[in-house]
Structure formats: C-alpha cells, structure tokens
Amino acid sequence: MNYHIDTKLVHGDHSYDQRTGAISFPIYQSATFRHPGLYESTGFDYSRETNPTREKVEKTIAILEGGSEGFAFSTGMAAIANLFQIFLPGDHIIVSNDLYGGTYRLFEELYKKYGIEFTYTDTSKISNIVNDTRESTKAIFIETPSNPMMKISNIREISEFARSRDWLTIVDNTFLTPYYQRPIELGADIVLHSGTKFLGGHNDLLAGLLVIKDKGELAEKLRVIQKTIGAVLAPFDSWLLLRGMKTLGLRMDKQQENAFKIAHWLKENRNIEEIYYPGLIEHEGHEICRKQASGFGSMVSFSVKDVNQIKKILKGVQLIAFAESLGGVETLLTYPMVQTHASIPKEILDELGVNDRLLRLSVGIESADDIIRDLEHAMR
C-alpha cells in the first residue's frame, strides 16, 4: 500500500521489531554477532558492516526519499566524505556556491589535493551550470534551499541537464527533508542529509544519511566504502534518529508556521534590511520552491541595517540560543561568517552577501509570539 508521508514517518520499514513485536525498535548495542556455523550467518556479522538498528534507519530513509537504498553515517560530513570516494583524480564537480562552510572545507582542503576539481557557481540559474561544464564534469552538487542565503535551484531542470550528459545529480536535502521535498522524485540520483538537524530534531545526536535512486554499481561501491572506512552511525544514535523521524511532520509544520510569522514580522522591523526566506512571495526562488516542494521550511536568514546590532542581538536573546546547528525543536540563532561559514574565503562570502550584518535563524516549535518578543527585546 502506498501510504502518505506522515504514515511513512511513523512506521518506516515496519515500526516494530518483527521478531519480538517490540513497538520501539530495539537498540542492538553489539559490536559483533554469533555465527550459527561455518559459512553461516544471521545476516549480521560485525556492526561496522551491518547492524539491525542502523539497517532500520537506512531502510526508513530510503522509503521516505523514494530511493532504492539508504546509508547511515556518524555525521553529515562523514556522509559527504564517503560519497566523494566514488570520484577519481581529474573528475570535475559543479557545486552550489552558497553552501555550508564545512562542505566547502572538505572539498577544498581534502578532496582537492587528491585531484578532484570543483567549480562553485550560482546553481539557481541553469545558464551558470551550462557555462561551467567541462569534459571531465561528473556531477552537480546542490543545496536547495542553500545555506545561508536560501537560494532555490530547480532540481528537475538540473537533473534533466545532468542526465543528458551522464552526470550524477546530488542534492543536499537537509533544510526541507523528505517531508517537504523529495529530490529523487524530481530526477536526482543521490540525496544526502545531515540527520543531526531536522530528521533528529532534538539536538541530541550526530548523523549523516545518503539515499541513492537505483540499486546497482553505485550501491555496491557505497556499501564497500561505508564498511571499509567505518564512519557508521552507532546503534544508540540510530535509535534516537528513528524516534526523531516519527515526529518530523508535526515538528516541521509547526516550525514553518512560526517561520512565516517571524519572517513577516522581520519585514516590518525598521532594524532589518533584507530577509531571505523562500516562503515569502517576493523571494526570487519562491515559485520554483512552491512547485518542487510542499513546504518552505523554517530557516530564515536576515541582515540588519547597522552592524552594531549584531552583538546586541546575540548577547540580548534569552529564549533563543546563540548556537551553531539547526533543525531542532529549540530556536537557534547563528552568525554565519564567524561560525558555519568561517572556512569560506571572504571574497566569496562578500559576493554571496554573507557579511558581518547577516544572521541565520533556525525557527523552533516554541510560541512564535515569544520568539518575536525575544528578538524585539534583544534589538532594543
């Protein structure tokens, strides 16, 4: 039966343990598993390779994204690092120029020295991708909405262009999750998540996830890479992630409702110069986001008119936490140029508009009125 996404979130790949009937799927906190005999296996041998609790997460995220196979890692960065092991020296990747600073650092400081080449461009415009095409191009890596400027890239259009050239389309779907956006259904080949964020939802775990569209050679490669490198998601964190995903829809709907209220309040605030939220009709990518996603999420970036307001706001918030990360039930405020994007050169940040007046708000599930009052108090 083809269930609605809300039902899939709760039940995933069977929400209970089929062997015992346990409604809460067990934490198999075991490094190794007993063999019945020589050349005989229960299907589980060693937890670096396979673990029942992690397997449950992997099957669930594949179902949610509409892919064929999922892979769970210890962090979002571990997921990207493992994925890029499929590329070879000389391969060229086109990347969204507005992206998480840790991803940029991974590409520039680690993978570039192995001969993989990266071109950063504004992927919200297909013409930029066309112009940056090389004979050695093998993939397009996009964030949409992007971090922190909330640019929207047309997943279907990019995927069709990539497919015509036999490239892979890789989409970081952390901000919208499969609850609001399913890139594989739009033509993407690989979807990745920092499961630490919305999927976990409670700021109590680190996790990374990959989902691939089709079984085959790519799946086999990733399976070997995953078990060989060993940066896998631990059983307890797998269980936390399973539990977190059950309430993803409820959380994201509330967070989005709050984000709309806060974005409209920011529009009227005399201290604010610019707001970046795809849910606003005037946002450049609003229409594309509306067509390819069922929601706009709860990430809101904004720039203040006076740079002196930054310290005042970050020091003055009481309900809101000045902290890195995003996607949890608590509202967090981040200063990208000092925190999440410190690894990106200033000239690139300046070009993007990530400057000393920009703040990024991850809206939580608290009362929107209380969040607004906290911001209002801090600005005064």
Q: Please tell me the predicted confidence (pLDDT) of residue 180.
A: 98
Q: Is the pLDDT of residue 1 over 80?
A: no
pLDDT in tens, 75-93: 999 999 999 999 999 999 9
Strands 299-304 and 272-276: antiparallel
The yes-or-no answer on residue 48 being catalytic is yes
Specify the residue for token string 């041998």: 45
Residue among 48, 243, 267, 312 flagged as catalytic:
48
SS (H, E, C) 263-316: HHHHHHCCCEEEEECCCCCCCCCHHHHHHHCCCCCCEEEEEECCCHHHHHHHHH
Same domain, residue pair 94 and 148: yes
Same domain, residue pair 320 and 192: no
Which CATH number covers residue 192? 3.40.640.10
Domain boundary among 200, 219, 246: 246
Q: Where is average pLDDT lowest: 43-47, 80-84, 159-163, 363-367?
A: 43-47
Same domain, residue pair 43 and 146: yes
Domain boundary among 219, 246, 273: 246
Q: Is the pLDDT of residue 59 over 90?
A: yes
Three-state DSSP at 37 gives coil
Give φ, ψ of 334 to 5 degrees: -125, 145
Q: Side chain identity at 239, as an amino acid letter?
A: W
How many distinct structural domains can be found in the chain?
2
Strands 92-96 and 137-143: parallel
By CB neighbour count within 10 A (0-12 exposed, 13-18 middle, 19+ buried), where does 327 fall? buried
pTM value?
0.96
Q: Please tell me the predicted confidence (pLDDT) of residue 309.
A: 96
Same domain, residue pair 318 and 254: yes
Same domain, residue pair 180 and 45: yes
Q: Which helix (DSSP H) or strand (DSSP E) does residue 360 occupy? A: strand 358-362
The yes-or-no answer on residue 197 being catalytic is yes
Q: Please tell me the predicted confidence (pLDDT) of residue 16.
A: 80
pLDDT in tens, 291-308: 999 999 999 999 999 999
By CB neighbour count within 10 A (0-12 exposed, 13-18 middle, 19+ buried), where does 224 fall? exposed
Q: Please tell me the predicted confidence (pLDDT) of residue 224.
A: 97
Same domain, residue pair 369 and 322: yes
Q: Is the pLDDT of residue 71 over 80?
A: yes
Same domain, residue pair 236 and 255: no
pLDDT in tens, 248-281: 999 999 999 999 999 999 999 999 999 999 999 9
Which CATH number covers residue 358? 3.90.1150.10
Mean pLDDT of the chain, nearest integer: 96
Provide the CB-side half-sphere exposure for 204 (13 A, CA): 13
Same domain, residue pair 236 and 269: no
Q: Is the pLDDT of residue 15 over 80?
A: no
Confidence of residue 19 (pLDDT cuts 50, 70, 90): confident
Same domain, residue pair 301 and 336: yes
Same domain, residue pair 125 and 171: yes
pLDDT in tens, 326-353: 999 999 999 998 998 988 888 888 889 8
Burial 110-143 (b: 16+ CB within 10 A, else e): ebeeeebbebbbbbbeeebbeebeeeebbbbbbb
Same domain, residue pair 79 and 119: yes
Domain boundary among 246, 281, 296: 246
Three-state DSSP at 25 gives coil
Burial 301-315 (b: 16+ CB within 10 A, else e): bbbbeeeebbeebbe
Q: What is the spatial distance between Cα 92 and Cα 58, in angstroms, rounded to a whole number?
A: 29
Domain holding 95, by residue range, is 5-246
| Mean pLDDT on 173-178 | 98
Q: Is the pLDDT of residue 310 over 80?
A: yes
Same domain, residue pair 254 and 241: no
Residue among 8, 197, 357, 360 flagged as catalytic:
197
